[in-house]
Chains A and B, each alone.
Chain A
């Protein structure tokens, strides 16, 4: 079982954008006000570049570990890949917290117990124990689902949005732009994910460009969502956390038909479950390849351990989401550009030439 190019394009165009719809819109509205599109666009463009680099790297047909081992030796490759896996697990932390808050606030009328979110980790462990290639087929189903979900809520919301709220451009200033760009940088790690998938799909001619276009198309959908979100809520957008669950509820049909938008919200939430777990799974796949490629029990054991740690971590910072975000956009702010931008770019360094003796 290998990923196909189509599955990867589906992921880039439709599944990857759903991870940017939970807390990022309100966070950007808080940091950059009506200029929220620009920091998001910058991050998306940088990630598009990283995705492009990772896809170019995949042209070699090697996994990251295989490439590092060839260039720098086994020991370095093992250490480097494990560090990269650690980064992916770290990158999964904020989306997991977002998912937990989303579940607590949107899926229940009253605040449920902490443990209501715990079954997520059972699913996550199950998914992590499977190789990364297994995800490809889920994207075949999830991509249309997520696309319909996003399109659905946008269609229900677009009539009520006042896009004039986005004007005047540049009101937040350079400071607001920078704060926004750095504040949400921890949601952009798709380049690193594609790099982890390298060697697990067959590279076809022109795939890097097509992948870039797919990612940009998904990014455009995110930007349109952000514009609609701010156009709908304006100054109070900062309080509208879990934006994708809120923008469509002002549709006039809701009073007659009930919250039909929940159909689309559930579709997005469904795709989001898989996207949230993906960095954990990518980390487990990389670690297995580097540490114990032939041991069939290693991946399930590591998957359980990683998810247990994630569950403990999520429970430990249960009411400290703001603090966690401050840490990620403060002391840890360098981590994401390094691993999700610089590493994919560095992966394009030319191979070491072998001189004849």
Chain B
């Protein structure tokens, strides 16, 4: 097991290196630079700024300098936000996105599994139709529409929640729900279909014929096996959701990480582009690893260590 994890960590480092390298050169291929603006800077000022940020060096040198810094977890200063380092931006933004993301995951997981199970055990009844209608809406309606709708109904009309900003727990509920809806819908559909499959298995029939209570059959025997696909979906979902959503954070005025992914590119804020990309990659790779480990723990059919022999 330990050997497996170590090997996976090795691959993660290798993947990270590739991601950083590709991002670095792709980013520098894009026209423009961090000092591009409608009101053009005098050339001497621009040259001075380029020298300060090391942008006047040959590209390969910049690349190796950058690699050297990343190894020590120093992403450098932000060019767009004067006086703040990329590490500051991440350590300010990540806790916000993390809290929002965890809330959304809890909502999505709880209601998603609940709807999915209800739909499966009451297949083709009104509960099923209702659950799946919710799921279809959740998947097909874009999050910015959901967000605007939630704002309109629950903040503007009913006045239960504030419209936006990030101050108290009450402020977090609407964005968390908006963020949760799409994964919730996906989880519900996933749970329903695997649950139906599991319920038709022989061992469930056996349990039924032995006269077990239906609730026990569902929870003890069926649910656990039907959750496996959900668990594997949780990996990328977690990575996505806890690093922030640009759309949701923008609409609700939340100072999370999400905005940096998009704005840093518009701004050509090189250091921030690199910083958030590396950070996101790390989170994504680690959560995939976590899922694989958890998978081995809950599904007796999969032995993580056995993979090595294949």
Do A and B share a complex? no
